[in-house]
A and B are shown apart, each in its own frame.
Chain A
Amino acid sequence: MAVTSKALPTTISATATQDKPPNKFRQALPQYTAVAPFFILFAIFGAFPVLFSIWISFHSWDGIGQMKWVGLEQYHYLLTDATFWKTIANTLIIWVLSTVPMLLLALVIANALHNATRFRTFYRIAYFIPNVTSVVAITLVFGSIFSNNFGLLNAFLKSVGVGQVEWLTSPWGIKIAIATIVTWRWVGYNAIIYLAGLQAISQDVYEAARVDGASSRQTFWRITVPMMRPVILFTAVTSTIGGLQIFTESRVLFGDTSNIGGPGDAGLTIVSYLYQSAFIKNQFGYGAAVGWALFILIVLFSIVNWRLIGGTDDERLTRRAARRVERRIAAQNAKKEAVDVH
């Protein structure tokens, strides 16, 4: 490349005569050393495994013996594998059941936190604690709350006359239980981020809307939501990526290491299936193929999120709304000045 061919003569001349400018690559050696650890680790434990996983997915391999080339056979099997499609359906259902209430509740809590002037630190810590608690410990607690025969939830339902619900044995019960754990752990986290977004909106904008006689619902939909768009996009993308990778909740919930998806595989997620294929059944090639399916799914969903919430048209709309608000503020300031003069 042009850069290296230029660099070589300079090195020679720099050693030959001292008054020539020193080699800029050599000069930057300390900086390269500083950033090197990440890139070396990434090469070994990130980039190489990604490329290697393509190779593995073209083979039939138990992880120890000979690798046997099977071409696209694993992917072909994947597309016809009913269990695989079931794990995709399970993951998506759990994702919707957790993400929708999670983000809506987070918005409600953030709004309440934004308006509260007292106990703010207490609230924040109390809402955030679920997020730092280990998933395993918490799943054990929820597992007992949802327990069919001895669970607190069914005891409560029985006492109000609803009767017992088969939470941990019915397809929907299992998904609701897993989604509840996910929601509980991440509501506070998302609320804290929404709160930061709310606090970043200038009070002038609200003041202007209020003076214009906008109702609180109008202010919410016309100002708060558009201004929060980047923050909402961030939470939507992160919870999509997180939601598609759910594993621990479903694996720990049933306390059964041989049947990690629960009765009828109703709680088997994509990552659980990957884990089961590779590390329980020793089908490394198939596990690698499931990994790629997961990757494609994450990319697809990120694009959908981007289009729905971030998209270019919407950005233009937001900017237009912002300009409109700016004009109004200017007009109001002019009005105020006029009043002050009187």
Chain B
Amino acid sequence: MSIERVRTAVGHVVLMLGVVVSLFPFYWMVVMASNTTPDIFSYPPKLLIGSHLFENMGKVLDNIDFFGSMLLTLIASLGVTVLVLFFDSLAAFAFAKYQFPGRNLLFGILLATFMIPTQLSLVPQFVVLAQLGWIGSLKALIIPGAANAFGIFWMRQYAKGAIPDELIAAAKVDGAGFFRQYLTVGLPVLRPGLAFLGIFTFINVWNDYLWPLIVMTDPNRLTLQVALDQLNGIYGTDYSMVMAGALMSVIPLIGVFLIGARSFIADLAAGAMKF
């Protein structure tokens, strides 16, 4: 019994060490963002949270259009998320619950698209957007990602188990067409799945760097990640200001994550097990 206890204790020590490593960079971000740059550069370095946080945040706002970038990123993230939730769940509902000619073939094609790395077509994608005249506009951030194979695949797995066929049959008897069945039967049942896919999509779009770096060419309209990188490129010597910017960019996202963290992590793990 006591050996068991020791093992549990050792397990917790290992896990707590891991937690410290996992969270330390966030602490260090706050330390650097709340001290002055000379303090950070001194030896031995300051290890505790200082009192210059708001001063550094102010400097960020003076040097880049932080809130403008944040708004742009927020609109892009919300836009993609709403469209992905609608298009993916609608397609998943059809794939999961209806027989139609060519269904398996279409779903097979959808699965095959997983194999294509996004970077392969980076160059021609840019050319396509340039031809459409979308470079530098919000459309370039939102439309190409408005529906995706991962979301449809994931939602279909979810819908298969979650939506009872009897409910759809009953809706049909009531004279509801396909889209009404989707609205009244599909959507309410899929809500927990939508919560996961929504957070997942939002986080990915918010954090994306390579795509906005290429398509948002107007220096006055940058997403948060690109603006942050620019801040570092120009003012790389003012560490504490750059870190204040990093901190400001990270807080909203962690907030969104923490709201749904518990079920989000469980759903993510369950999704991986289905592959």
Contacts and interface: CB of A to CB of B under 8 A. Distances in A.
Given A3-B101, A134-B249, A136-B228, A128 B117 contact: no
Interface residues of A, number: 99
Given A126-B19, A193-B272, A255-B232, A30 B179 contact: yes
SS of A interface (majority): helix
B236 A49 contact: no
B113 A42 contact: yes
A82 to B, nearest CB: 22
Contacts of A118: 12
Interface string A253-275: 00111000000000000010011
Interface stretch (A14-22, A139-147, A169-177): A139-147
Size range of the chain B interface in the assembly:
35 or more
Contacts of A105: 18
Contacts of B95: 35
A132 B254 contact: yes
Interface string B131-162: 00000000000011011110010000000000
Contact of A141 (B44, B130, B224, B246): B246
Contact of B273 (A112, A196, A241): A196
A298 B118 CA distance: 12
Nearest to B237: A255
Contact of B40 (A38, A117, A150, A247): A150
A48 B124 contact: yes
B166 to A, nearest CB: 20
B183 interface: no
B233 A256 contact: yes
Interface in A86-107: 105
A234 B123 CA distance: 29
A293 B22 CA distance: 35
Interface string B22-65: 11011011001000000011011100000000000000000000
Nearest to B20: A126
B145 to A, nearest CB: 8
A112 B10 CA distance: 9
A193 B168 CA distance: 34
A236 interface: no
Interface string A27-46: 11011101101110110111
A41 B147 contact: yes
Contacts of A152: 28, 45
Interface stretch (A219-227, A284-292, A314-322, A330-338): A284-292
Interface in B219-263: 224-225, 228-229, 232-233, 236, 239, 242-243, 246-247, 249-250, 253-254, 257-258, 261-262
B119 A274 contact: yes
B44 A155 contact: yes
A98 B6 CA distance: 32
Contacts of B209: 134-136, 247-248, 251-252
Contacts of B18: 105, 109, 112, 127, 187
B32 A196 contact: no
A11 interface: no
Nearest to B236: A255
A144 B253 CA distance: 22
Nearest to B45: A155
A317 to B, nearest CB: 21
Given A35-B91, A44-B128, A124-B265, A116 B233 contact: no
A125 B243 contact: no
A129 B22 CA distance: 8
Contact of B113 (A28, A46, A109, A138): A46
B118 to A, nearest CB: 8
A292 B116 CA distance: 11
A284 B257 contact: no
A231 B19 contact: no
A144 B270 contact: no
B25 A196 contact: no
B175 interface: no
Given A31-B100, A184-B21, A53 B124 contact: yes
A281 to B, nearest CB: 12
Contacts of A77: none
B120 A292 contact: yes
A115 B43 contact: no
Contacts of B100: 24, 27-28, 31-32
B98 interface: yes
A60 to B, nearest CB: 13
20 contacts: A34-B91, A34-B94, A50-B121, A109-B18, A113-B15, A132-B253, A133-B26, A134-B206, A134-B224, A135-B209, A144-B32, A184-B25, A235-B272, A244-B117, A255-B236, A278-B123, A278-B126, A284-B123, A287-B123, A292-B120
